[in-house]
């Protein structure tokens, strides 16, 4: 174990960098603000790399643990640690933050310092969520992460940004209040402890587990989001600036799924089995129904937003089949979605910056004027449709393979995403990119700049690398996933 507080560095380096950007006078100098933000995001990513290189894949125990008292009166501690599940998301989050800072380099021209500081501070809060082993510390970071994203949508978003920001905030706040009630209940029944690891060993009657599970389920289902509490997401994506959409899709949607892994399954295992049918049913509705909804969208951002809901349905489906293959596939799908959905929203942002429209009908023949962009967009469209050798295929294939063993009809229904995903993604790509030049706006387009090429190339490396050679990702997961499923299989009924 490293003696350096790597997790604290992963949390506080981006937060302090954001504060430096805000307080150094950089708000009066956009160039300086961008440079400070890039340095902060770069260092924030670099300090997470030793978490992977120094990680022991042979053990499911928490690693890089940090523990010190925070509020001793209520036994609240600054307790950090990562296992094979959470370490991947910290690295992914720090990587995406770097991408977002580069992506907004020339696009954001007002309140540049505040914009970049918001992403840096949010990055630290998100890393805090993934690293927290104290329930109240988790909740503080969980709630704090809402504020920067709320401001990013509300200040730098589109014409209906205030409505979208309020809808996003109100949906997530309602779920968070139920989450807080469950945390307080667990605090008292555990003998005044907020330790998440102690809660994992807490024996509870089935009825108590059910109420705790339902409180968790509402909070996390809104975050995923699952059907029918998904309606805030398309509005938030459509109105958010490109950077906000990238972080929302790549990281923020993972918080709910991660909550199921860290809280719902290990704390209420018997209730998880009791409600697994409900969760599988809701997941299949998301895969099929939301996929059909995506087919009729005319706005590219809204189409990819609904696509995200369908892909996250695969994640929750994999969780509740209680199979190592399904659970690993679901987590791989979460990481892959970070690369692919983030890239899709960036591609749409590239076109919007030039044409100022997201309507599919306003394009056509983009390949004639932007051939390099069209090649990248094709790669990410194929990954979004689940093409083999891309990251989008790996997770979905693992979940479908596990669902065949679980139930043929569940597998059959889930596999429909391969058809629906290809249909709505390729339909959009065909109308936007192929054919004759649609109008004078498309005829005047210029191909991607060096900065945009750099961002797309980094995301392409992630999508292709994970698709061709997923072993570095799955290897980290094995021990932690097997331990979680072993724990869930043991009854905790009094």
Domain membership of residue 342 (yes or no) is yes
3 state SS for 22-64: HHCCHHHCHHHHHHHHHHHHHHHHHCCHHHHHCCCCCCCCCEE
- Cα(209)–Cα(492) distance, integer angstroms: 9
Mean pLDDT score of the chain: 88
Q: What is the pLDDT of residue 1?
A: 42
Assess whether 140 and 165 both reside in one domain.
no
Token digits for 239?
């109105």
Question: What does the pLDDT look like over 334-356, one tens digit per residue?
Answer: 999 999 999 999 999 999 888 88
Domain limit, last residue, from 99, 125, 144? 144
**Cβ proximity of 100 and 119 under 8 Å:** yes
385 has a pLDDT exceeding 70? yes
Q: Is residue 115 part of a domain?
A: yes
159/254 same-domain check: yes
Instruction: For residue 2, name the pLDDT band (cuts at 50, 70, 90).
Output: very low
Q: What is the pLDDT of residue 494?
A: 52
- Other C-beta atoms closer than 10 Å to the C-beta of 396 total 25
350, 216: one domain? yes
Q: Which residue has the tokens 């205030």?
A: 162
What pTM was computed for the model?
0.91
Is residue 392 within 8 A of residue 463, CB to CB? The reply is yes
pLDDT digits (tens, 9 = 90+) for 199-242: 888 888 888 888 999 999 988 988 888 888 888 888 888 888 88
Own/partner contacts of 268-271, CB < 8 Å, gap of 24 or more, are: 268/204, 268/209, 268/210, 268/212, 268/213, 268/216, 269/209, 269/487, 269/488, 269/489, 269/490, 269/491, 269/492, 270/206, 270/209, 270/491, 270/492, 270/493, 271/206, 271/209, 271/210, 271/212, 271/213
Phi-psi region of 55 (alpha: psi -120 to 50; beta: other; left: phi over 0): beta
Is 58 exposed, middle or buried (CB count within 10 Å of its CB: 0-12, 13-18, 19+)?
exposed
Residue 74 shares a structural domain with residue 202 = no
Contact of 465 with 95, CB cutoff 8 Å: no
Percent of the chain at pLDDT exceeding 70: 98
Same domain for 131 and 230?
Answer: no
- pLDDT higher than 90, residue 414: no
Q: Cα–Cα distance between 141 and 255 in angstroms, integer?
A: 11
Reading the block at residue 432, the tokens are 């936007």
Q: What confidence tens digit (pLDDT) does each residue in 453-488 have?
A: 999 999 999 999 999 998 888 889 888 888 888 888
492 pLDDT band (50/70/90 cuts)? Answer: low
Rounded-to-integer distance, Cα 271 and Cα 210, Å: 5
Question: What local confidence, expressed as pLDDT, does residue 27 receive?
Answer: 65
Please check whether residue 265 lies inside any domain of the structure. Answer: yes
Question: How many domains does the chain contain in total?
Answer: 2
Residues 343, 358: one domain? yes
Instruction: Give per-residue burial for 144-168: e unless 16+ CB within 10 Å, then b.
Output: bbbebbbbbbbbbbeeebeebbebb
Q: Are residues 138 and 3 in the same domain?
A: yes
What integer is the mean pLDDT of 115-128? Answer: 92
Domain assignment of residue 89, yes or no: yes
Residue 494 lies inside a defined structural domain of this protein: no
Of 114, 144, 174, the last residue of a domain is 144
Q: Please indicate, yes or no, whether residues 209 and 131 belong to a single structural domain of this protein.
A: no
Residue-by-residue DSSP string for 186-217: HHHHTTS--BHHHHHT----HHHHHHHHHHHH
Domain end residue (candidates: 111, 144, 177):
144
CA-to-CA distance for 488 and 186, rounded, in angstroms? 18
What pLDDT score was predicted for residue 127?
Answer: 94
Same domain (yes/no): 387, 415: yes
257 and 397 in one domain? yes
Q: Work out the angle at residue 422's Cα, subtended by the Cα atoms of residues 417 and 423, and round it to the nearest 5 degrees.
A: 100
Q: Give me the DSSP letters along 408-467.
A: HHHHHHHHHHHHHHHHHHHHHHHHHHSSS--SHHHHT-----HHHHHHHHHHHHHHHHHH
Do 158 and 130 fall within a single domain?
no
Q: Is 281 part of a structural domain of the chain?
A: yes
CA distances from 428 to 349, 359, 421, 453 (A): 15, 10, 11, 22
What is the number of helices (H) and of strands (E) in the chain?
25, 2
Domain that holds residue 91: 1-144
Same domain, 23 and 140: yes
Range of lowest pLDDT (25-34, 137-146, 426-435):
25-34
């Amino acid at each position: 174990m490293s003696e350096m507080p790597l997790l604290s560095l992963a949390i506080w380096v981006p937060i302090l960098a954001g504060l430096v950007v805000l307080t150094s006078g950089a708000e009066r100098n956009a160039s300086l603000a961008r440079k400070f933000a890039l340095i902060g995001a770069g260092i924030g990513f670099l300090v997470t790399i030793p978490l992977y290189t120094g990680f022991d894949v042979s053990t499911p125990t928490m690693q890089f643990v940090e523990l010190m008292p925070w509020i001793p009166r209520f036994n609240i501690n600054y307790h950090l640690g990562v296992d094979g599940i959470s370490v991947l998301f910290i690295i992914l989050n720090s990587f995406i933050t770097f991408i977002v800072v580069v992506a907004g380099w020339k696009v954001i021209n007002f309140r540049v310092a505040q914009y970049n500081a918001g992403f840096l501070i949010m990055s630290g809060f998100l890393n805090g969520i993934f690293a927290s082993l104290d329930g109240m510390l988790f909740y503080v970071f969980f709630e704090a992460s809402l504020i920067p994203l709320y401001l990013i949508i509300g200040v730098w978003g589109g014409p209906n940004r205030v409505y979208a920001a309020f809808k996003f905030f109100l949906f997530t706040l309602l779920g968070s209040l139920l989450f807080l009630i469950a945390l307080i209940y667990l605090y008292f029944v555990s003998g005044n402890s907020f330790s998440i690891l102690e809660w994992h060993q807490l024996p509870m009657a089935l009825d108590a587990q059910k109420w705790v599970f339902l409180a968790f389920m509402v909070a996390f289902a809104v975050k995923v989001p699952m059907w029918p509490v998904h309606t805030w997401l398309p509005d938030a994506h459509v109105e958010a600036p490109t950077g906000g959409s990238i972080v929302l899709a790549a990281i923020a949607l993972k918080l709910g799924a991660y909550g199921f892994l860290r809280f719902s399954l290990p704390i209420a295992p018997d209730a998880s089995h009791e409600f697994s049918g409900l969760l599988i049913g809701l997941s299949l509705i998301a895969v099929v129904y939301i996929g059909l909804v995506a087919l009729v969208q005319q706005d590219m951002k809204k189409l990819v937003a609904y696509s995200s809901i369908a892909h996250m349905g695969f994640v929750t489906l994999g969780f509740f089949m209680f199979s190592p293959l399904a659970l690993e596939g679901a987590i791989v799908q979460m990481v892959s979605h970070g690369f692919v959905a983030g890239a899709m929203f960036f591609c749409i942002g590239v076109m919007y910056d030039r044409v100022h429209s997201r309507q599919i009908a306003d394009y056509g023949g983009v390949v004639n004027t932007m051939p390099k962009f069209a090649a990248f967009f094709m790669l990410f469209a194929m990954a979004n449709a689940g093409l083999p050798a891309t990251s989008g295929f790996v997770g979905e294939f693992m979940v479908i393979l596990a669902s065949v063993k679980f139930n043929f009809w569940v597998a059959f229904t889930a596999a429909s995403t391969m058809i629906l995903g290809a249909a709505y993604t390729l339909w959009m790509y065909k109308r936007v990119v192929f054919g004759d030049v649609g109008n004078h706006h498309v005829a005047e387009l210029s191909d991607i700049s060096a900065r945009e090429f750099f961002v797309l190339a980094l995301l392409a490396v992630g999508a292709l690398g994970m698709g061709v050679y997923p072993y570095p990702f799955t290897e980290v997961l094995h021990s932690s996933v097997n331990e979680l499923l072993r724990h869930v299989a043991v009854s905790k009924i009094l």
